[in-house]
Amino acid sequence: MGHGQSQPEPEPQEAPKPRKMQRGLKATVFPNPQFDVEAACEELNKSMKGWGTDEDTLVQVLVRHSNQQRQEIKEKYMAMYGEDLVDQIKGEVDGHFQDFLVGLLTPTLTYEAQCLQDAMKGAGTNEDVLIEVLVGKSNEEIAQLKEEYQKLTEDNLDEKVESELSGIFQNIIRALLAGARDEGWGDRDEAEADAQVKKQYITPTIDSDKTRDRLVNKTPNEAICLISVVVLSSQELVEAGISNWGTDESKFNAILCSKSFPHLSMVFRRYAELSGEDITETIESEFSGNAKDALLAIIKEARDTPEFFAERLHNAMDGAGTTDYAVIRILITRSEVDLGSIKDRYQELYEEPLVDKIKGETRGDYETACILVLGEQPE
């Protein structure tokens, strides 16, 4: 999504588009350019007709269409055969394979709202799911998600979080749900300034080529304003943490939950220069439990979204047993966003192809579904 005020707004989409649809990120599932809704319905119906089920055809048809196209397929299927496609699939397959196919057929926004509902259902709360679903959302996506959650559950998401969580972690999640993160690049000022300020301030301060290039396109005084805010945020974090007796958690919460991700990327660089340690080291030492996990997730999201999800996939499959719910959730929600980039980052981090890891952790039709969504072909 665009961050500069001079950039045009994207064309309206039929379905909400994730915030991180940036140049350079690679998806693995795409809209089918030869989309034929009736032909897709016929294939699906044939795969479930009579004795037995053609599971390969079932998943192949779903994966070679985007989520929006799958919604059209569901609607057309009912019109052609008088049966609900999801209900029919539930009657034909089971287990994790069923979970995967139903997830593919669920609108992304509804699916994420269901994830939040499941995370807070019954005794206890799955805090990891709340963190994963919420930390990377734009303000518009937060508003849409809260509305969808209300439709799905007839509960207010803010009130539900308040009743389920407590302490610093509750404050962080409620701040994220406020949907008030700055999505710009800093205060604008029309006063003229010497163009050399760009070279003096931007080059030594910004370590991201993309961020530096965007700043260089601003007026010199806009750049000064932005750098000044970055330095101020960095100093406030230092004063709230390592240079203070005790930790001012509210200051960390205010900055990490309200500043734009490009802004935070610059703050982290400046923070290291001022404090002598990486921001993650401070969070590790000053916070604990779910609050620590949430703040670290925000930092990782700001720095490298594919790495954030690569680590989550690794953790879901590391050690004894696999958290299949997490694997399915990430593969489905990131497939049209950046799953290809996540695959690349996984290989860099763990020196093993993600597809090989998944083959070792999954079986049968469920394995096939995972492999296909990764953009690979089963053997």
Domain boundaries, the chain: 123-177, 196-303
Structure confidence at residue 203 (pLDDT)? 40
* Tens-place pLDDT, residues 14-44: 433 433 445 578 999 999 999 999 999 999 9
**pTM of this prediction exceeds 0.85:** no
At 39, the amino acid letter reads A
Name the token pair of 62: 């779903």
Amino acid residing at 59:
V
Which parts of the chain have pLDDT scores under 70? Answer: 1-23, 184-248
- In this structure, how many other beta carbons lie within 10 angstroms of the beta carbon of residue 165? 19
**Which pLDDT value is given to residue 196?**
33
Query: What is the distance between the alpha carbons of residues 243 and 40, in angstroms, rounded to a whole number?
Result: 62
Q: Where are the beta strands (DSSP E) in 136-279?
A: none
Please tell me if the domain spanning 123-177 has the same topology as the one spanning 196-303. Answer: yes
What is the predicted pLDDT for the residue at 11?
A: 43
CATH number of 123-177: 1.10.220.10
DSSP string, 289-311: HHHHHHHHHHHHHHH-HHHHHHH
Question: pLDDT tens digits for 213-262?
Answer: 544 454 444 443 444 444 445 555 555 545 454 456 788 888 889 888 88
What is the fold, at CATH topology level, of the domain defined by 196-303? Annexin V; domain 1 (1.10.220)
Q: Decide: helix, strand or coil at residue 357.
A: helix
The distance from CA 147 to its chain's CA centroid, rounded to whole angstroms, is 18
Q: How far is 129 from 165, CA to CA, in rounded Å?
A: 13
Euclidean distance between CA atoms 113 and 119, whole angstroms:
10
